[in-house]
Amino acid sequence: MKKIIVIGLCLAMCHTADAAVEWKLKKEAGQLKVYTASTENSGNKSVWVQCTVMGTFSEVIAALFDVDRQKEWVFNDKYSKLLKRVQPNELIYYSEVSVPWPCTNRDFIAHLKVTQPSPGVVMIASHAEPEYVPQKEGIVRVKSSTAQWTMTALGNGKIKIDYVVQFDPGGDVPPWLTNMFVTKGPYETFEQLQKRIDLPAYKAAHFDFIKE
């Protein structure tokens, strides 16, 4: 009974995107949708991405865990590096994001952990650890960021992904840059992810901590 209650609470927290927050659809193409919402006590936006991919939980995780190659598909990723493999389902990595002039590049340290509350659901929680490595001169450190992935098996090789993120880019951020990060960036990143998991490097991937 405790396990059922915990699973219910976790799913309820993830699906606040459906109820408690007033989400506005900003971009849509096929089964890929990007929503934004105002964040309480902050001028920053929350972002909710919803999409469907063909593959397995392990194939998606394999692509996400291949941190050193994120610049090949994550929007404006200049450089990413794995810092620590905490355990098989948990890692910490560094990433620098290219930002158009006259603004300054941002970087962040993300702590990411995968859990599976039920056989058909996989969740990935991520939060910023800004003090994990020294700050670099000339780059603005993202000090506040939380993200939650909820992957749900739909059958016939389809996985529904709900991704909700809140972050503070730090510094003075003009409206055009905010729009780039909360709409253009998530849309293009997930558009590439849909193609990414088809690469031979991730096909037939398997993790012992995941039940397909």
- CATH code for the domain in which residue 50 is found: 3.30.530.20
Question: Of 144, 180, 177, 146, which is closest to residue 164 (Cα–Cα)?
Answer: 146
Q: Among 6-15, 26-35, 86-95, 182-191, which stretch is predicted with the lowest mean pLDDT?
A: 6-15
Res. 82: pLDDT tops 70: yes
The verdict on residue 203 lying in a domain is: no
pLDDT of residue 4: 31
Query: Contact, 185 vs 75, CB < 8 A?
Result: yes
* Cis amide bond preceding 102, omega within 30: yes
* 185-196 helix and 57-65 helix, angle to the nearest 10 degrees: 120
Number of domains in the chain: 1
In the DSSP assignment, the letter for residue 39 is: P
Residue 27: its pLDDT value, please?
93
On the 0-12 / 13-18 / 19+ scale of CB atoms within 10 A, 204 is exposed
Q: Is residue 207 part of a domain?
A: no
Residue 12 has pLDDT above 50, yes or no: no
What is the per-residue DSSP string for 48-67?
A: EEEEEEES-HHHHHHHHH-G
DSSP string, 131-185: TSSPPPTTSEE--EEEEEEEEEEEETTEEEEEEEEEEE--S---HHHHHIIIIIH
Structural domain boundaries, residue 184? 2-196
In a domain, 212, yes or no: no
Element (H, E) at 25: strand 24-29
Could you tell me the pLDDT band of residue 43, with boundaries at 50, 70 and 90?
low
As a whole number of angstroms, the distance between CA 26 and CA 210 comes to: 33
Tell me, yes or no, whether 201 lies in a domain.
Answer: no
Q: Is 170 inside a domain boundary?
A: yes
Q: Is residue 121's pLDDT more than 80?
A: yes
Cα–Cα dist 78/99, whole Å: 9
- Going by pLDDT thresholds of 50, 70 and 90, the confidence category of residue 189 is very high
How far, in Å, CA of 202 to CA of 179, rounded? 32
pLDDT digits (tens, 9 = 90+) for 143-181: 989 999 999 999 999 999 999 998 888 777 776 677 677
